[in-house]
Structure 1
Amino acid sequence: MSDRARAGTVKHITSTQNPVIKAAKALQQRKARAESGLFLAEGHKLIVDALDEGWPPEMIIALEPKSDEEGVTKLAARVRAQGGDVIFTNIPVMEKLARRDNPQTVIGVFEQRFAPLETMTKGTVVALEGPRDPGNVGTIIRTADAVGASGLILIGAATDPFGVETVRATMGSIFHVPIARTDLARFSSFAVDFPGRIVGTHLNGTVDLRDVPAAEPQMLLMGTEQSGLTEAAASVCDPLVKIAMAGKADSLNLAVATAVALYELRRPFLP
Structure 2
Amino acid sequence: MDAVITSLTNETVKSVRALHAKKEREATGLFLAEGLKFIGEALDLKHTPQMLLVGQDARPHPLLDRAKAETRAKGGRIVIVTHAILEKISRRDNPQTVLGVFRQTWTPLDAIEPAQAPCWVALEQVRDPGNLGTIIRTADAAGCGGVILIDDCVDPFSVEAVRATMGSVFAVSISRTTSEEFLAWRARWPGSVIGTRLDATAGYRDGAAQRPALLLMGNEQAGLTDRLAAACDVNVKIPMRGRADSLNLAIATGIMVYALTEGAA
User: How high is the TM-score relative to the length of structure 2?
Assistant: 0.95
1:69 Cα deviation from its structure 2 partner? 4.5
Retained in 2: the 8 A contact 1:214–1:266?
Answer: no
Retained in 1: the 8 A contact 2:58–2:97?
Answer: no
Structure 2 vs 1, CA of residues 43 and 212 (structure 1 numbering), >3 Å: closer, same or farther?
farther
Match for residue 139 of structure 2 among 140, 144, 149: 144
- The alignment-based identity, stated in percent, is 47
1:268 Cα deviation from its structure 2 partner? 1.3
Match for residue 21 of structure 2 among 29, 32, 37: 29
1:82 Cα deviation from its structure 2 partner? 2.5
Aligned residue in 1 for 2:8 = 16
Determine the C-alpha separation between the residues in 2 that align with 1:268 and 1:245.
25
Matching of residue 86 in structure 1 with residue 78 in structure 2:
yes
Determine the C-alpha separation between the residues in 1 that align with 2:155 and 2:207.
31
Determine the C-alpha separation between the residues in 2 that align with 1:267 and 1:69.
38
Retained in 1: the 8 A contact 2:58–2:98?
Answer: no
Structure 2 vs 1, CA of residues 71 and 196 (structure 1 numbering), >3 Å: closer, same or farther?
closer
Aligned residue in 2 for 1:249 = 244
User: How high is the TM-score relative to the length of structure 1?
Assistant: 0.93
Tell me whether 191-200 or 124-133 shows the greater mean CA deviation: 191-200
Aligned residue in 2 for 1:55 = 47
Aligned residue in 1 for 2:154 = 159
Retained in 1: the 8 A contact 2:40–2:63?
Answer: no
1:196 Cα deviation from its structure 2 partner? 1.0
Give the secondary structure class of the aligned counterpart of 1:262: helix
Determine the C-alpha separation between the residues in 2 that align with 1:69 and 1:42.
16
1:76 Cα deviation from its structure 2 partner? 1.4
Structure 2 vs 1, CA of residues 32 and 66 (structure 1 numbering), >3 Å: closer, same or farther?
closer
Give, as a single letter, the amino acid of the residue that structure 2 aligns with 1:94. L
Number of residue pairs the alignment of both structures matches: 262
Structure 2 vs 1, CA of residues 223 and 66 (structure 1 numbering), >3 Å: closer, same or farther?
closer
Aligned residue in 2 for 1:263 = 258
List structure 1 runs of 4+ shifted beyond 6 angstroms: none
Q: Which runs of 5+ in 1 are unaligned?
A: 1-8
1:49-128 alignment to 2 at 5 Å? 49-65=41-57, 67-69=59-61, 71-120=63-112, 121-122=114-115, 123=117, 124-128=119-123
Aligned residue in 1 for 2:189 = 194
Q: Which runs of 5+ in 2 are unaligned?
A: none
